[in-house]
RNA sequence: GGAGCUGUGGUGUAGCGGUUAACAUGCCGGCCUGUCACGCCGGAGAUCGCGGGUUCAAUUCCCGUCAGCUCCGCCA
């Protein structure tokens, strides 16, 4: 036993003397105590942070945690914290001596209940930094509801503590007011979303968490079945198939605040389990859905951030987005659009450009305003970056008051340079970056450079955007086959149906993404609702008829019983919430997040299980993995 | 799977091939009747993430490993 624990015990003894009745009663509802009964029906009393000068003269009961103690010997101040804020309690040694002794025993994070009188402070003693700074509470009775060890970190906003530690003591971390506000923001968002969708005629319906593993997509989290040894459930990557079946069931408008699971490596904006606002609608298609989502965003931004959105949101096709911004989720808060310079480049003497064009490629430019003063090293770093992004190289030109500075300018006639200047709208002091080669690669590389070189000051206005007409398939180089760009249930674009067989990569889909400030908030599509087209898609994806029937017979069968045309979208609630709270990581807006390795530092999950449990499941573990549990 | 960054009293940091491992804060004790990040005085508290190597000597240099974070791959 260390000295800390001994001190702890000594303090407990002291409290027992001072407070004979359950000094550290842990369980709420431990008898109908004086204070517990006060919480009974009727209205809630004002919280600590809600007391104002108007309450002066009234008697209040307060419950909360000790934020801070300022002991002046004969006079003792306590900042009492609950979720509403802080209020100062005063204990005076000239009053009740037993009460004062009890107050002296209080320490950080003790949970107490007090009764006392709200009094105005002398004008000299007002604390303008505190919302409750005009008053204080003269305590008449005190009950210690629970003691606390000294917390490993101080409970206050803006603290810089190792995330490791905060996650291990997440319940303490969450006591910090800014974290309460995060939880509250998320709650408000979900409430508004429910209200909005309800008013649009949607039904919230829960779908199974234990479902079957399906091919395509992310790695599944598997759950072994006890009753069918050797068989597994999968946790849903999304409720995709169930919501389509709900359309088959005639629900017409479904939504769910749905937990989803994907066993992939994590990022600041990716957790193994996350929440989607999952929506599906029959008959009315994309336009109606867009309007519903736009209305939802307007409600959220209006109510929670006081921002009015201009509706409807602009749209770009996937092709346009890639051509102009080099991204399928362009950040429209700034310009710097990519410009095709193939035509003047073709007439230049620059061999690299001409070779790229002769192979059917393009030459594209990114204009970086005011970056003409960049040092040689800065430019070299950009070239390095471009190569990292997959480019063969990066050419550059700087527009000067008179003429151009560039290692490649000599390959261009003054007339050609003039045309490039016109196309790119280059002004003196601007830097032009050129990529040459495959069109998609050039766009992507310049698109990433565009983000890298984005202005520091960005428009505070939210810039929403629908990106539509995504390709239906993409080529999976690892698997050497086609895979769905969105998912296998996405309907092909009607106009491109004839291309399915001969040029599937050219087929556009009816899929779309909602993008905000360069962040993909969600994606959706009109779905296939005809069995033969679904089978055709499966076939192109390399799924035989037998496999398709084995994995998806339930869906294909449903298609034989009159499924309405339908479509829907799933929006990432965590990302949206992080955006609203101004956080970089979605961990901040998840009550109990996991680390980048997928472990929970609070509970120690994932952890080994008892051999008996494995036997019941018919599972043998081949090699004990590491140690199990987080390092502490 | 790959790369980078981080790891020193409870917490946040400093430090250096040989230190009594420094500072702040917190904690404990004492004093204090108007503080509000109270103040003053005193005290306790660290095998420098873990393992190995180099060296007369490693918290410091090297290798490995673990944990956390960030990024690439991956994420229909």
Strands (E), A554-632: 566-572
Which of A21-30, A478-487, A617-626 comes out lowest in average pLDDT?
Answer: A21-30
Please write the tens of the pLDDT for every residue from A352-364.
Answer: 999 999 999 999 9
Q: How far is CA A59 from the centre of its chain?
A: 44
Instruction: Give A297-304 contacts, CB < 8 A, sequence gap 24+.
Output: A297/A464, A299/A192, A299/A195, A299/A196, A300/A189, A300/A192, A300/A193, A300/A576, A300/A580, A301/A462, A303/A188, A303/A192, A304/A185, A304/A188, A304/A189, A304/A192, A304/A580
Asked whether the beta carbons of A254 and A279 are under 8 A apart, the reply is yes
Q: How much is the pLDDT for A280? A: 98
Protein CA at A471 to nucleotide C1' at B51, angstroms: 52
C-alpha atoms less than 13 angstroms from C-alpha of A298 in its C-beta half-sphere: 12
Protein CA at A399 to nucleotide C1' at B71, angstroms: 33
Nearest protein residue to nucleotide B39 (CA to C1' distance) is A72
Nucleotide closest to residue A125 (CA–C1'): B34
Asked whether the beta carbons of A110 and A25 are under 8 A apart, the reply is no
* pLDDT of A430 strictly over 70: yes
* pLDDT of A27 strictly over 70: no
Nucleotide closest to residue A95 (CA–C1'): B33
Q: Which residue in A510, A469, A501 sits closest to A482, CA to CA? A: A501
**Which residue is it, tokens 């506000």?**
A181
Q: How much is the pLDDT for A153? A: 93
* pLDDT of A386 strictly over 90: no
Give kind and range of the element (H or E) at residue A230.
none
Protein CA at A423 to nucleotide C1' at B68, angstroms: 48
Give kind and range of the element (H or E) at residue A614.
helix A611-617
* pLDDT of A619 strictly over 80: yes
Q: Which residues contact A550 (CB under 8 A, 6 or more apart)?
A: none
Nucleotide closest to residue A511 (CA–C1'): B76
Q: Write the CA distances from A50 to A46, A144, A177, integer angstroms.
A: 6, 22, 14
Ramachandran region, residue A5 (left: φ > 0; alpha: ψ -120 to 50; beta: rest): alpha
Give the span between the Cα atoms of A564 and A432, in whole angstroms.
51
**Residues paired with residue A273 on neighbouring β-strands, in sequence order:** A261
Asked whether the beta carbons of A113 and A143 are under 8 A apart, the reply is yes
Average pLDDT over residues A3-29: 39
Q: Which residue in A245, A235, A261, A262 sits closest to A205, CA to CA? A: A245
Q: How much is the pLDDT for A216? A: 77
Higher pLDDT, A622 or A575: A575
Protein CA at A70 to nucleotide C1' at B26, angstroms: 14
Return the SS3 of A36: coil
Nucleotide closest to residue A216 (CA–C1'): B76
Q: Which residue in A452, A404, A448 sits closest to A426, CA to CA? A: A404
Q: Chain B bases under 7 Å from protein CB?
A: 1, 10-13, 25-28, 31-39, 44, 66-76
H-only helix segments in A72-160:
97-104
Give the span between the Cα atoms of A514 and A292, in whole angstroms.
13
Nearest protein residue to nucleotide B38 (CA to C1' distance) is A70
Virtual CA dihedral for A593, A595, A599, A603, nearest 10 degrees? Answer: -50
Give the span between the Cα atoms of A315 and A313, in whole angstroms.
7
First to last CA, chain A: 19
Protein CA at A592 to nucleotide C1' at B44, angstroms: 35
Nucleotide closest to residue A270 (CA–C1'): B75
H-only helix segments in A493-567:
531-540, 545-558
Q: Is the peptide bond before A606 cis (omega within 30 degrees of 0)?
A: yes
**Phi first, then psi: what are they for A22, rounded to 5°?**
40, 70
Q: How far is CA A132 from the centre of its chain?
A: 34
Higher pLDDT, A130 or A388: A130
* pLDDT of A25 strictly over 90: no
Give kind and range of the element (H or E) at residue A125.
none
Q: How much is the pLDDT for A626? A: 38
Q: What share of chain A is helix, strand, coil (3-state, %, to 5)?
A: 35, 25, 40
Q: DSSP character for A525? A: E
Protein CA at A72 to nucleotide C1' at B21, angstroms: 35
Nucleotide closest to residue A629 (CA–C1'): B67
State chain A's mean pLDDT as an integer.
Answer: 89
Neighbours of A418 (CB within 10 A): 13
Q: How much is the pLDDT for A459? A: 87
Return the SS3 of A364: strand
Q: How much is the pLDDT for A457? A: 83
Average pLDDT over residues A172-185: 95
Average pLDDT over residues A85-110: 95
Average pLDDT over residues A461-473: 95
Strands (E), A422-500: 431-437, 464-468, 473-476, 481-484
Please write the tens of the pLDDT for every residue from A179-218.
Answer: 999 999 999 999 999 999 999 999 999 999 999 998 878 9
* pLDDT of A491 strictly over 80: yes
Nucleotide closest to residue A92 (CA–C1'): B33
Protein CA at A605 to nucleotide C1' at B76, angstroms: 28
Please write the tens of the pLDDT for every residue from A370-384.
Answer: 998 888 888 888 888
Q: How much is the pLDDT for A507? A: 95
**Phi first, then psi: what are they for A412, rounded to 5°?**
-115, 135
Neighbours of A160 (CB within 10 A): 5
Give the span between the Cα atoms of A213 and A225, in whole angstroms.
13
Please write the tens of the pLDDT for every residue from A262-287.
Answer: 999 999 999 999 999 999 999 988 99
Return the SS3 of A113: strand
Please write the tens of the pLDDT for every residue from A107-130.
Answer: 999 999 999 999 999 999 999 999
Asked whether the beta carbons of A241 and A254 are under 8 A apart, the reply is no
ipTM: 0.93
Protein CA at A541 to nucleotide C1' at B76, angstroms: 11
Which of A309-323, A348-362, A475-489 comes out lowest in average pLDDT?
Answer: A475-489
C-alpha atoms less than 13 angstroms from C-alpha of A109 in its C-beta half-sphere: 14
Average pLDDT over residues A330-357: 93
Asked whether the beta carbons of A506 and A499 are under 8 A apart, the reply is yes
Output the CA angle A226-A230-A234, nearest 5 degrees. Answer: 80
User: Which tokens belong to A22?
Assistant: 């359950």
C-alpha atoms less than 13 angstroms from C-alpha of A471 in its C-beta half-sphere: 17
Q: DSSP character for A46? A: P
* pLDDT of A39 strictly over 70: no
Protein CA at A12 to nucleotide C1' at B9, angstroms: 26
Please write the tens of the pLDDT for every residue from A542-585.
Answer: 888 898 898 899 999 999 999 999 999 999 999 999 999 999 89
Neighbours of A73 (CB within 10 A): 7
Give the span between the Cα atoms of A291 and A307, in whole angstroms.
18
Q: How much is the pLDDT for A152? A: 93
Q: Write the CA distances from A597 to A108, A112, A217, A219, integer angstroms.
A: 33, 38, 20, 15
Please write the tens of the pLDDT for every residue from A584-613.
Answer: 899 999 999 999 999 999 999 999 899 999
- HEC secondary structure over A533-550: HHHHHHHHCCCCHHHHHH
Q: How much is the pLDDT for A41? A: 54
* pLDDT of A337 strictly over 60: yes
């Amino acid at each position: 036993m260390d000295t800390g624990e001994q001190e702890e015990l000594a303090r407990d003894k002291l409290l027992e003397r001072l407070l004979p009745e359950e000094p550290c009663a842990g369980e709420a509802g431990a008898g109908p105590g004086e204070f517990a009964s006060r919480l009974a029906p009727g209205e809630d009393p004002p919280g600590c942070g809600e007391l104002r000068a108007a309450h002066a003269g009234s008697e209040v009961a307060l419950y909360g945690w000790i934020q801070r103690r300022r002991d002046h010997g004969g006079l003792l101040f306590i900042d009492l914290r609950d979720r509403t804020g802080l209020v100062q309690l005063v204990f005076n040694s000239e009053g009740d001596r037993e009460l004062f002794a009890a107050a002296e025993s209080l320490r950080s994070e003790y949970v107490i209940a007090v009764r006392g009188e709200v009094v105005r402070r002398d004008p000299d003693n007002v604390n303008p930094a505190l919302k409750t700074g005009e008053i204080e509470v003269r305590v008449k009775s005190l009950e210690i509801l629970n003691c606390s060890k000294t917390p490993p970190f101080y409970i206050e906003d803006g603290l810089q503590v190792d995330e490791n530690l905060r996650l291990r003591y997440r319940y303490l971390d969450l006591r910090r007011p800014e974290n309460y506000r995060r939880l509250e923001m998320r709650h408000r968002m979900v409430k508004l979303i429910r209200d909005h969708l309800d008013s649009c005629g949607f039904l919230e319906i829960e779908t199974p968490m234990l479902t079957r593993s399906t091919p395509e997509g992310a790695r599944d989290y598997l759950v072994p079945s006890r009753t069918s040894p050797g068989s597994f459930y999968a946790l849903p990557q999304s409720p995709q198939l169930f919501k389509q079946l709900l359309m088959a069931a005639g629900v017409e408008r479904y939504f769910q605040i749905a937990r989803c699971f994907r066993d992939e490596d994590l990022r600041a904006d990716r957790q193994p389990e996350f929440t989607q606002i999952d929506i599906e609608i029959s008959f009315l298609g994309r336009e109606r859905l867009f309007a519903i989502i736009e209305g939802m965003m307007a409600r959220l931004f209006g109510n929670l951030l006081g921002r009015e959105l201009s509706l409807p949101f602009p749209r770009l096709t996937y092709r346009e987005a890639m051509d102009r911004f080099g991204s399928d989720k362009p950040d429209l808060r700034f310009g710097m659009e990519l410009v095709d310079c193939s035509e003047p480049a073709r007439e230049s003497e620059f061999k690299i450009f001409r070779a790229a064009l002769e192979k059917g490629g393009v030459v594209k430019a990114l204009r970086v305003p005011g970056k003409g003063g960049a040092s040689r090293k800065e430019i070299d770093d950009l070239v390095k970056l471009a190569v990292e992004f997959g480019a063969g190289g990066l050419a550059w030109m700087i527009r000067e008051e008179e003429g151009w500075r560039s290692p490649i300018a000599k390959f261009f006639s003054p007339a050609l340079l003039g045309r490039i200047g016109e196309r790119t709208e280059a002004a003196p002091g601007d830097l032009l970056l050129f990529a040459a080669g495959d069109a998609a690669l050039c766009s992507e590389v310049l698109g990433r450079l565009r983000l890298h070189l984005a202005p520091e000051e960005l428009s505070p206005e939210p810039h929403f955007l629908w990106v539509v007409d995504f390709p239906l398939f993409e080529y999976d180089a690892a698997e050497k086959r086609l895979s769905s760009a969105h998912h296998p249930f996405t309907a092909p674009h009607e106009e491109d149906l004839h291309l399915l067989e001969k040029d599937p990569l050219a087929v556009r889909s009816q899929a779309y993404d909602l993008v905000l400030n360069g962040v993909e908030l969600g994606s959706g599509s009109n779905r296939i609702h005809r069995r033969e087209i679904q089978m055709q898609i499966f076939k192109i994806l390399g799924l035989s008829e037998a496999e398709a029937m084995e994995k998806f017979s339930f869906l294909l069968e449903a298609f034989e019983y009159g499924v309405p045309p339908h479509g829907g979208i799933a929006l990432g609630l965590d990302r949206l919430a992080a955006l609203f709270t101004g956080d970089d990581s979605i961990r901040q807006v998840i009550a109990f997040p996991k680390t980048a390795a997928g472990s929970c530092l609070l509970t120690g999950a994932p952890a080994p299980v008892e051999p008996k449990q494995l036997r019941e499941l018919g599972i043998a573990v081949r090699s004990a993995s590491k140690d199990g549990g987080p390092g502490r």
